[in-house]
Structure 1
């Protein structure tokens, strides 16, 4: 396995690859169906995320074949990220400046590369060049019977509450990792 990790700050060169990999993993592999998981809805979310200042993606390629990706966006002062929280957070916790919190919007690895450490490698590569103080993500707590959330916990994330950002989305566990970068374990 000769993996190459590539950074992108513009979505158009990799949009179709990201959408195709997302659909393959979420729909075919994991069986997630319904309008929220459709290619069109994901592409709309991707457009919204990638139009924000500071958007960045890391794609992994194995011999030219896409193996996985992650992308993230800094939360700006006008973010709606925290509006869907179902649990209150401490005063000041949700104040954003565009430099405080990075939202990890997606991380997806195709089946042949799962269990190889590639997801964490992509994740850490994405965070390595970032200057934000902390990183947040949403995870479906039922994904993999809780195993996906447990992976994020091993990576240093802690659950801070729950949110449902769209009427047809699952209720996600909202997780935070502070500081953004962790020392090697």
Structure 2
């Protein structure tokens, strides 16, 4: 396990370029930058929209030298959230009711290639969840990503698929995953 420092921030301006640079590198590694949903411009639009919401927070992982190795970010779901509005799979009554303190949306995670497979992603995830008091945490994952391996990673972190949604016209259909915040 590399020696990694974790820096939390709720100021998108201080981390925006780092996040964009890592996004471009990682999505490029997987050959995804030519897809409109993954373009730097579309990602930046989503980043700024998420960061404008109350409670948005990011964690950036860096080496002691300051070199960034990855990031993640998330936001508590507000009572007026659109998170559940594009569900393809119906959910039980009350499941999508949000209070601003019920659900944390884990919206994005990227780890640079040289540090994948070393536990950095899990540490980023856990660092973001630390200190949060929501009841549960949700995320979206393309079930085809990595031939299903990315979804399997989240399942190994105790997430379960609760349905499917297509939140943007140019996005894939995502598996919606959920777990209790505290295990």
Q: TM-score w.r.t. structure 1 length? A: 0.96
Q: CA deviation at 1:10?
A: 1.1
1:86 to 85, 88, 91: 88
Tell me the equivalent position of 1:34.
35
CA–CA separation in structure 1 for the residues paired with 2:152 and 2:179: 13
- The answer as to 2:47 corresponding to 1:46 is yes
CA–CA separation in structure 2 for the residues paired with 1:144 and 1:84: 24
Q: CA deviation at 1:43?
A: 0.5
Tell me the equivalent position of 1:105.
107
Tell me the equivalent position of 1:135.
137
Task: Within 5 Å, give how 1:14-25 maps onto structure 2.
Answer: 14-25=15-26
Preserved CA contact (<8 Å) 1:128 1:181: no
CA–CA separation in structure 2 for the residues paired with 1:34 and 1:152: 24
SS at match of 2:148: helix
CA–CA separation in structure 1 for the residues paired with 2:35 and 2:118: 30
Tell me the equivalent position of 1:10.
11
Q: CA deviation at 1:2?
A: 2.2
| Unaligned ranges ≥5, structure 1 | none
CA RMSD of aligned residues (A): 0.7
Q: CA deviation at 1:181?
A: 2.0
Deviations 1:3-53 (A, max 9, x none): 100100111000010011011101x11111221111111000001100000
CA–CA separation in structure 2 for the residues paired with 1:75 and 1:10: 18
CA–CA separation in structure 2 for the residues paired with 1:181 and 1:161: 21
Q: TM-score w.r.t. structure 2 length? A: 0.97
